[in-house]
């Protein structure tokens, strides 16, 4: 399926990476009013709650809610028909008089967490990232553990500390190991993980599996994720039950959820898998997403992780997540794991970028860094191929480090 590019009557939309072929969803606050669902077009937000109130779009009231959850629960046919209707509203000048008053400049709104997060799962699906981490922490040993190519390794994170892009990140405090024994204090190895998150709309019953082929029936869209990580806390705590406080202080997501319908032209063949995977993990066709990510550290672009290099696909991750009968809920978020390509300039964590903190890098303001300092800002961006050679942008995810309390 490919969408034809149609001119929009909205000023600045044509040629914008947020044109009518993109249309990500979010939740905004304007003029001190209650949170409302909106869709981004160029540098404006179309108030979808207002559009539904005016009868311009119909979604069973789901657009008049303070989060996207009810809308995401409706399912793909409704997602697609609402999107088609929004495109009509923004391209057919017959609707201009009715719709124009519902456009709010982006600069006048506060963007909120777009959905209530049900469960948050974080995978570990980049072969380059897993290999780099293995080499840094277990030099001289095989970089990948024996299970890594047989299943998408993942774990549950803390849903309650998922925050929207722009929320400040308080440096976490905790225990870390030293040669003299564990000590307590603010983390001194605060890091990022640049990831892509998949947001579940349609739930599944407990005890059933979701097949990889049903990915697009359950997953509504995509967010960018920064899985902030305190490497020193994580290293001391993680044996044998995995990451806990080293991650649970905050996870940032973009304010905009890009619907899968906007990414039709971004699906590309994923890397071949060897050894062959179990039947339940076979996705035919085996497709990843050609998202080109960028990591900015105090304004300096320090890495460009290529999402298309991910070993495990989002459809495989969904099939794995539910193969034991675990149910899905609307608002479940599962993230890809750190996205790292084969080159040093393509890694999605500073652990890798500075090779375990041994090789400082140049960041904005002419400074150098190994890990994050108080006041630092990290922004993760991404673009994807749109129809007919165009490019769409995913909403960025940004955050600034505040000192430990």
Catalytic residues: 129
DSSP 24-80: -EEEEE-TT---EEEEEETTEEEEHHHHHHTTSS-STTTTSSSSSHHHHTT-HHHHH
374 binds its own copies (CB under 8 A): no
Q: Is 120 annotated as a binding residue?
A: no
d(CA 181, CA 167): 34
4 binds its own copies (CB under 8 A): no
d(CA 302, CA 72): 35
**Single residue of 244, 271, 273, 364 touching its own copies by CB under 8 A:** 244
- Cβ-based nearer residue to its own copies, 17 or 66: 66
Q: Is 158 annotated as a binding residue?
A: no
Q: Is 40 annotated as a binding residue?
A: no
Minimum separation from the CB atom of position 214 to its own copies (A): 16
175 binds its own copies (CB under 8 A): yes
**Any idea what the Cα angle at residue 368 is, between residues 363 and 369, rounded to 5°?**
90
d(CA 260, CA 197): 12
Minimum separation from the CB atom of position 42 to its own copies (A): 32
Q: Is 396 annotated as a binding residue?
A: no
* Span from 87-95, 277-285, 341-349, 384-392 in contact with its own copies (CB under 8 A): 277-285
Specify the DSSP element, H or E, that contains 88. helix 76-91
Q: Is 91 annotated as a binding residue?
A: no
Mark residues 195-234: x for contact with its own copies by CB under 8 A, - for none.
-----------xxxx--------------------x--x-
Closest CA to 89 of 152, 138, 20: 20
159 binds its own copies (CB under 8 A): yes
- Cβ-based nearer residue to its own copies, 172 or 386: 172
Minimum separation from the CB atom of position 22 to its own copies (A): 30
**Single residue of 161, 264, 390, 391 touching its own copies by CB under 8 A:** 161
- Cβ-based nearer residue to its own copies, 89 or 200: 200
d(CA 28, CA 217): 26
386 binds its own copies (CB under 8 A): no
Contact 232, 404 (CB under 8 A): no
136 binds its own copies (CB under 8 A): no
- Cβ-based nearer residue to its own copies, 35 or 172: 172
* Span from 67-75, 168-176, 253-261, 357-365 in contact with its own copies (CB under 8 A): 168-176
d(CA 171, CA 401): 6
d(CA 53, CA 9): 22
d(CA 194, CA 383): 14
**Single residue of 195, 227, 232, 237 touching its own copies by CB under 8 A:** 237
- Cβ-based nearer residue to its own copies, 6 or 159: 159
Q: How many helical (H) and strand (E) elements, i.e. helices and strands, does the chain have?
A: 9, 26
Backbone angles phi, psi at 127, to 5 degrees: -65, -40
Helix (H, G, I), strand (E, B) or coil at 82: helix
**Single residue of 38, 172, 201, 341 touching its own copies by CB under 8 A:** 172
**Residue 358 CB coordination number (10 Å):** 8
26 binds its own copies (CB under 8 A): no
* Span from 18-26, 272-280, 286-294, 367-375 in contact with its own copies (CB under 8 A): 272-280
d(CA 405, CA 120): 26
238 binds its own copies (CB under 8 A): yes
- Cβ-based nearer residue to its own copies, 160 or 366: 160
241 binds its own copies (CB under 8 A): yes
Specify the DSSP element, H or E, that contains 352. helix 350-353
**Single residue of 114, 157, 306, 314 touching its own copies by CB under 8 A:** 157
Q: Binders of its own copies among 290-349, rule CB under 8 A?
A: 320-321, 323-329, 332
Handedness of CA 388, 390, 395, 399 (dihedral sign): positive
The strand ranges marked E within 245-376 are: 251-253, 258-259, 267-269, 287-289, 292-297, 300-303, 333-335, 361-362, 368-369
Would you tell me which residues interact with its own copies (CB under 8 A)?
A: 118-119, 124, 145, 147, 150-151, 153-161, 163, 170, 172-175, 177, 182, 184, 206-209, 230, 233, 236-246, 248-250, 278-280, 320-321, 323-329, 332, 402, 405
């Amino acid at each position: 399926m490919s969408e034809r590019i149609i001119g929009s009557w909205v000023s600045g939309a044509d040629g914008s990476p947020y044109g009518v072929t993109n249309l990500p969803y979010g939740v905004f606050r304007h003029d001190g009013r209650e949170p409302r669902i909106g869709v981004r077009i160029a540098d404006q937000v179309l108030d979808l709650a207002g559009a539904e109130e005016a009868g311009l779009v119909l979604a069973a009231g789901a657009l008049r809610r303070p989060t996207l959850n009810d809308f995401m629960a409706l399912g793909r046919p409704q997602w697609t028909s609402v999107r088609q209707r929004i495109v009509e509203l923004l391209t057919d000048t017959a609707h201009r008089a009715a719709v124009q008053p519902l456009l709010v400049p982006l600069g006048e709104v506060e963007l909120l967490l777009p959905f209530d997060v049900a469960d948050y799962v974080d995978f570990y699906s980049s072969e380059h990232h897993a290999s780099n981490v293995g080499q840094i922490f277990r030099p001289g040993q095989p970089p990948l553990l024996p299970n890594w190519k047989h299943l998408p390794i993942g774990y549950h994170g803390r849903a309650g500390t998922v925050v929207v892009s722009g929320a400040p990140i308080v440096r976490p405090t905790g225990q870390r190991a030293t040669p003299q024994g564990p000590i307590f204090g603010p983390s001194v190895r605060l890091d990022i993980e640049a990831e892509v998150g998949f947001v579940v709309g349609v739930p599944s019953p407990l005890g059933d599996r979701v097949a990889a082929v049903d990915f697009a029936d359950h997953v509504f869209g995509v967010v960018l994720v920064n899985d902030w990580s305190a490497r020193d806390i994580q290293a001391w705590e993680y044996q044998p039950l995995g990451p806990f406080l080293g991650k649970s202080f905050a996870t940032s997501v973009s304010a905009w959820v890009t619907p899968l319908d906007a990414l039709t032209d971004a699906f590309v063949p994923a890397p071949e898998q060897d050894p062959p995977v179990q039947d339940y993990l076979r996705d035919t066709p085996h497709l990843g997403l050609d998202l080109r990510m960028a990591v900015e550290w105090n304004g300096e672009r320090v890495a460009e992780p290529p999402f298309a290099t991910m070993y495990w696909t989002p459809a495989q991750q969904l099939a794995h997540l539910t193969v034991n009968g675990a149910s899905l809920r609307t608002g479940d978020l599962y993230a890809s794991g750190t996205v790292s390509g084969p080159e040093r300039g393509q890694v999605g964590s500073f652990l890798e970028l500075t090779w375990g903190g041994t090789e400082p890098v140049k960041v904005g303001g002419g400074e150098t860094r190994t890990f994050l300092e108080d006041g630092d800002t990290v922004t993760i961006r991404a673009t994807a191929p749109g129809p007919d050679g165009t490019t769409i942008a995913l909403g960025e995810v940004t955050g600034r480090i505040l000192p430990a309390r």
